Chain A
Amino acid sequence: MAGFDGLFFTEVLVGGLLSGVMYSLVAIGFVLIYKTSGVLNFSQGALLLFAALTFVSLVERGVPFALAFLVTFAIMVVIGIAIERTVLRPLTNKPPITLFMATLGLSYIIEGAAQLLWGTQVHALDLGIEDVPYDIAGVFISQFDVFAALTAAAMVGLLSAFFRYTRIGLGFRAVADDQLAALAVGLKLPWIWASVWAAAGLIALVAGLLWGARLGVQFSLSLVVLKALPVLVLGGFDSILGAILGGLLIGASEKLAEVYLGDYFGGGIESWFAYVVALAFLLIRPSGLFGQKLVERV
């Protein structure tokens, strides 16, 4: 390899960080549910697919963008609440692994329903952002990725404000801290759960749209959860901040590794490198970046 190319390095790094934001966005959906219900909601990927497919099908049938967004959001909220009522509530106090398996079953249902309703065709999703790179001092930066990062940041800001300043948000934090105590002081858990699922639905929708614009809206969209899992391990299952920093860290390190170390392994190491980073990190800090120290709580 020729001499070290600083410009190229910057480009890989920035590209990696921006990809990382996309991972974080998916990871946050997991974190919200995990914090309140203690379940690793594997159906998040299916929800994301469902949201994107619903949205794009509505738009293709001539529904205006904003209305399609609102309708899809409403549907996601209804689905979220339905899941909470019919699946998670009957399974309260069951071991987490049972809950996890239930969300796997759930992902079958949602994927099946999404394709039954909207068909198995692939769709293009155009969010109206041109994907020509910005040229900043010789470094190419994707316009779309910047837009996605800003959207993600806005989402996180919105959620933080919601949980900090609203009653339901405060309730959410109380539940996340200690469910029994929250019940004891008279918090209405159903409301809190419902609003958390609504928030998770919103995230699934936004993440579905951003990823859908990148990959096309199709079955494989649900596979993006595999990119979010190492982020969760690294950042901690119950920390939004951890999901963000974890995403950045994973995104940057996997891209740098593929470009600079890939040659030594023969390439294609991205599929597992993120997990190795997360594992190596966990061996030093078993609860992730910001996860609660009491991992036994699981």
Chain B
Amino acid sequence: MSIITLPLPSSAGLVLTPKALGIAALLVVAYGVVPFVGSSYVFEALLLPFLALSLAGVGLNILTGYAGQVSLGSAAFMAVGAFAAYNFNLRVEDLPLIVSLVLAGLSAAAVGIVFGLPSLRLRGFYLAVSTLAAQFFVQWVLTKFSWFSNNSASGVIDAPPLTIAGLSFEGPVGRYLFALAIVTVLTFLAHRLVTSQTGSNLIAVRDNETAARIIGVPVLKTKLLAFAVSSFIIGVAGALWAFAYLRTVEPAGFNLDRSFQILFIVIIGGLATIRGAFLGAGLIVVFPLVLSRAGAFVFGDIFDSGVLDMTQRIVLGALIIAFLILEPDGLSALLDRLRHRFAAVFGRA
């Protein structure tokens, strides 16, 4: 039994299903409506972190959900992506921003392959804990060698202006569209990957390595490929986190808590589903805010903010556990169930 056990995903063909229409509608809203109605708070505090974390979730899901390799080092790959993008942009003159981002992804992929090597021998928690090596080593390197932060005295660097082909993406809306475009493209590519033969190979490796080997899946290559692709996407997500969301890049922002957060997103959203990453990220970004708002509104004049925040921490932990118990397959499965019920009620099934 592997560390992760899942049913096979239902294979959906690329026909114009209601699902595809739904996605199209979502995209229309995301590109066509949201930029005009959202406030700067919605972009800066909700949508930008949501997009960056969703993308990181998509990346980790390829590794953990599809290929069954648990990683606790996602934040390290985000850091590699952020710092690589910064340095490519800074040191290679006239390099288009998009190329910097791609190179950043490739750098993260390279680092991912190196730290993926133990997966060839280790499984389960042994592998999970060994990915912590990436977490600590990368942070150490980025802090230690100030070249990475352009010898800035404080080690914190500012993101460059976001401009692509003369088009400026400054301001909350601009940065939102920038992030959204990148997330859309990479998510689409990730979807193509997991529905291809390679995707089946990943799942085969996850479910039964020996069997996979027997039916001719190149197990070692597939595992490393999973690490590479996943780290690429997470690396770009890191660059988005730094460039589009926080506008500042510091190693401490990519700590172990961030890695856990991304793992939460994947698990709560639903393993081995692309949309799960988005659902999970939505929950992880929005839920604590709702909780803190509701808490402050209801109890604000009774307890001080310290007590409220501690209580929120407890409630958040309890909800995560409750969720894992009640809906172990994640939000994605919950959504499916709701849709079936809905469809049954309206007789469209």
Residues on A lying within 8 angstroms of B by beta carbon are: 40, 87, 90-91, 94-98, 100-102, 104-113, 115-116, 120, 226, 229-230, 232-233, 237, 265-266, 268-269, 271-272, 275-276, 278-279, 282-283, 286-288, 295-298
Contact = CB atoms under 8 A, between A and B. Distances in A.
Contact of B317 (A90, A112, A229, A296): A112
Contacts of B3: 95-97, 298
B125 interface: yes
B217 to A, nearest CB: 18
Interface string B96-128: 000000000000000000000010011111101
- 7 smallest A-B Cβ distances: which pairs? A108-B317, A298-B124, A105-B320, A112-B313, A275-B133, A109-B317, A112-B314
Contact of B133 (A91, A108, A276, A295): A276
B318 interface: yes
Given A105-B321, A271-B136, A295 B314 contact: no
Main secondary structure on chain B at its contact with chain A? helix
A95 B130 contact: no
A295 B126 contact: yes
8 contacts: A40-B129, A95-B4, A112-B312, A237-B125, A271-B139, A275-B137, A282-B126, A298-B124
A95 B139 CA distance: 30
B5 interface: yes
B6 to A, nearest CB: 8
Given A97-B64, A112-B313, 18 more contacts: A40-B125, A91-B324, A95-B3, A96-B3, A96-B125, A109-B313, A112-B312, A226-B256, A271-B139, A275-B133, A279-B118, A282-B121, A282-B122, A283-B118, A286-B121, A288-B126, A297-B1, A298-B123
B137 A101 contact: no
A286 B321 contact: no
Contacts of A297: 1
Contacts of B128: 40, 100
Interface residues of B, number: 46
B137 A272 contact: yes
A107 B324 contact: no
B314 A233 contact: no
B260 interface: yes
A109 B314 contact: yes
Interface string B181-205: 0000000000000000000000000
Interface of B: 1-6, 64, 70, 118, 121-126, 128-130, 132-133, 136-137, 139-140, 144, 256, 260, 263-264, 267, 306-307, 310-314, 316-321, 324-325, 328
Given A104-B264, A282-B122, A298-B124, A272 B130 contact: no
A6 to B, nearest CB: 30
Contacts of A110: 317
Nearest to B5: A95
Contacts of A101: 263-264, 267, 320, 324
A112 B320 contact: no
Interface centre among B126, B263, B307 (most CB of A within 10 A): B126
Contacts of B324: 91, 94, 98, 101-102, 105
B4 A116 contact: no
A233 B126 contact: yes
B181 to A, nearest CB: 32
A102 B256 CA distance: 17
Given A98-B328, A102-B320, A112 B310 contact: yes
Contacts of A113: 310, 314
Contacts of B311: 112, 116
B320 A104 contact: yes
A237 B124 CA distance: 11
Most chain A beta-carbon contacts within 10 A, residue among B6, B64, B129, B260: B129
B126 A286 contact: yes
A100 B4 CA distance: 11
B115 to A, nearest CB: 9
A232 B2 CA distance: 19
Contacts of B137: 272, 275-276
Contacts of B125: 40, 96, 100, 237, 298
Nearest to B138: A272
A109 B315 CA distance: 7
